[in-house]
Amino acid sequence: MIIQESGVKFKDIEQKIYEQVCELGRELVKRIMLDMDWQVMESRDKEKYRHKGMAKSVIKTVMGEVEYERRVYISKEEIEGKVCHYLLDEEMGIDEHIGKMSENLSEKIIERACEEAYRKAAENISGLSGQSISAMGVWKVVQEMGKRVGIEEKAAALRAKRNEGLGEVETLVLFEENDGIYIALQGESRKKTGEHGELKVGIAYSGWEQTGRKRYNVTDKVAYAGMESSAQFHSGKEGVIAGYYNVDEIEQRVINADGASWARGDTEDETRHYQLDAYHRNQALKRNVTDEEKRDELRELLYDNEPEKLLKTIAGYVEETANDEAKSTENENYAKLLTYYTNNKDGLIPYNKRDDLKLPEPKHGIVYRNLGVMESNIFSIIGSRMKGRRAVWSTSGANHLAKLLALKSTNRLDYMLNIIHRSYVADDFAAQINTGLSAAKVPTTVGRGWNFFLQGSIPNSMTWLRDFCQIKGLDHLY
């Protein structure tokens, strides 16, 4: 066949079309930027800004690098300092972009960086965008966006402290789980805190919904993570909760944790009920009691919800082995278990087996179940990306990525990135752009009646697009 003889492959056709469409896209962006720059020139404060000519710049996009020209201005109030202003860049927030990257490109980079190592993410993005993105470039985007997320979280924490949370989801009961995961540190972070550091992770949800015959998923989940102090962690987590939930409607909170003092949080409030995580509770018993008979006895007391008898029995084992040198290790383990269970005495009975705790009925379609989803969540949120593969982190680097991973795990990453981008672009200019580029008002607003889609030209190199326009009746483009 002719096709076989010519050696044409679908991959080659696909790649060629992709490259040329990206080329057309870059040309469109360049022309639109030029038009916007004209709008800025016309609407600027002419008493303040003096036009001093044109200057080139480059912005990296998902279609490749776009080189564009915009006008340079000098403020008449700053003549002596000769400070240059690029009003188009300032108004569009381009000067706030990381490394002159478009929002779309930076978001794609973050999505990849949340899935794979920075170097691998750089390779994949470079292959798709037709430009060279380095691993360091990916790292810088993650650090900057993680820092901006942290700023938004602090603002949310402050609103929560003032009881001004913006959350709207309503639930009478909120379930919370906290745990930590240790990651390898590098450089100055290792010198300060040791080879490993604890990254704190917390989730909150309103209950469970049945998604299969024996499958249940938590509902309305939010997550928070950070390499932070206990106070910072709980403040930030409260901000995330208050940003999603209407906290005024929450009547009871159930907190599941591994027994670490930081993970318990504030349990002095009578509406907050702490329980020791079943996995860690049972693991402590298994690790510290080697005698199977005694282990079964203690396990039975645990499952019968007899904390007083449980502690008394363990204390008896401690006393029984106290003066026997041959059992010194056994004695030490019993004492360790007694301390652990005593410190978490108020959490030994699961919330749903406490006679003094009556929770409001769940909403339709929601059920209450045993807590303990944190082990799988801490892996899916943090562990799968940040543990293993000889990965080492700085404290700040781990903190910034962890915040993005927590958002991604709850499908809130895009939402947060949109908030961040909006906060760095002037709202009034966004309104100007929306008005200035509308089809009906371009002739009057722009002043030249120019519209690329009706009057633009197709580059001579794109003969395939000329043929396509003839077929589709779009010959006005050339």
Residue 455 has pLDDT above 60, yes or no: no
Q: Are 201 and 223 in contact (CB under 8 A)?
A: yes
Residue 128 has pLDDT above 70, yes or no: yes
- The set of long-range contacts for 152-155, using a CB threshold of 8 Å and a minimum separation of 24, is 152/416, 152/419, 152/420, 152/423, 153/224, 153/236, 153/239, 153/240, 153/403, 154/236, 154/239, 155/239
Partnered with residue 217 across adjacent β-strands are 209
Average pLDDT for the chain: 85
- How many other C-beta atoms lie within 10 A of the C-beta of residue 365? 10
Residue type (1 letter), 105: L
Identify the pLDDT of residue 6: 64
How far apart CA 414 and CA 420 sit, in angstroms, is 10
Q: For 192-222, b where at least 16 C-beta lie within 10 A, e where not — what string? A: eeeeebebbbbbbbbbbbeeeeeeeebbbbb
Identify the pLDDT of residue 419: 83
Q: Are 371 and 275 in contact (CB under 8 A)?
A: yes
Sheet holding 84-85, edge to edge: 49-61, 64-75, 84-85
From the list 183, 198, 222, 204, the residue with the least C-alpha distance to 385 is 183
Confidence (pTM):
0.81
Identify the pLDDT of residue 266: 74
Percent of the chain with pLDDT over 70: 84
Identify the pLDDT of residue 291: 92
Q: Which of 116-130, 268-282, 434-448 has the lowest mean pLDDT?
A: 434-448
Q: Are 187 and 194 in contact (CB under 8 A)?
A: no
Identify the pLDDT of residue 431: 41
Averaged pLDDT for residues 70-90: 80
Which H, E and C letters describe 388-402, residue by residue?
CCCCCECHHHHHHHH
From the list 181, 177, 175, the residue with the least C-alpha distance to 200 is 181
How far apart CA 219 and CA 171 sit, in angstroms, is 11
Identify the pLDDT of residue 19: 86
From the list 347, 411, 416, the residue with the least C-alpha distance to 156 is 416
Model confidence pLDDT, tens digit, residues 240-281: 999 999 999 999 999 999 999 999 887 678 899 999 999 999
Q: Which of 131-140, 162-171, 230-239 has the lowest mean pLDDT?
A: 131-140
φ and ψ of 181, to 5 deg: -135, 135
Helix H segments across 162-306?
187-193, 230-244, 261-264, 278-288, 292-303
How far apart CA 24 and CA 61 sit, in angstroms, is 13
How far apart CA 341 and CA 347 sit, in angstroms, is 9
From the list 247, 258, 227, the residue with the least C-alpha distance to 374 is 258
How far apart CA 423 and CA 106 sit, in angstroms, is 16
How far apart CA 326 and CA 333 sit, in angstroms, is 13
Q: Are 151 and 420 in contact (CB under 8 A)?
A: no
Is residue 82 very low, low, confident or very high in pLDDT (cuts 50, 70, 90)?
low
Is residue 95 very low, low, confident or very high in pLDDT (cuts 50, 70, 90)?
low
Averaged pLDDT for residues 321-336: 92
Model confidence pLDDT, tens digit, residues 3-56: 556 667 888 888 888 888 888 999 998 998 899 999 999 999 888 888 889 999
How far apart CA 449 and CA 441 sit, in angstroms, is 9
Which DSSP letter does residue 259 get? S
Which DSSP letter does residue 360 get? P
Give how far Cα 436 sits from Cα of 45, 106, 225, 356, 432, Å. Answer: 18, 26, 42, 64, 6
Is residue 288 very low, low, confident or very high in pLDDT (cuts 50, 70, 90)?
very high
From the list 166, 151, 347, 157, the residue with the least C-alpha distance to 233 is 157
How far apart CA 348 and CA 275 sit, in angstroms, is 6
Q: Which of 339-343, 355-359, 368-372, 446-450 has the lowest mean pLDDT?
A: 446-450
